[in-house]
Amino acid sequence: MCISIFNGVTMTDQTRWGIVEVQTRNKAIKYQKDLVSRAMDQVKKMDESGITDLMIQIEAEYERKYGDNKADDKVIL
């Protein structure tokens, strides 16, 4: 249910069911994007060997959390 249109933007009824869940999901997405942004600020300061080491650690952590395959020590560039 939309309340009104202001400058081409539809305003959503904030009392509707599910609005809190949408806001919570949006906050979680923004938090993740902010984490990536802050991490990239640090990566920009690293040299090639530091970035390579970070890639290996990220790959190992990703495999630990989400992968069925074990991470190996090979880096494919």
Domain map of the chain by residue range? 18-66
- pLDDT tens, position by position, 20-73: 888 999 999 999 999 999 999 999 999 999 999 999 999 999 999 988 755 556
How much is the pLDDT for 67? 83
Q: Which positions ≥6 away from 3 have C-beta within 8 Å?
A: 11, 12, 13
pTM equals 0.57
DSSP strand E in the chain: where?
Answer: 2-6, 9-12
Residue 76's pLDDT band, with cuts at 50, 70 and 90, is low
To 5 degrees, how large is the angle CA 24–CA 25–CA 28?
90
Choose between 77 and 57: higher pLDDT.
Answer: 57
Query: Residue 70 has what pLDDT?
Result: 56
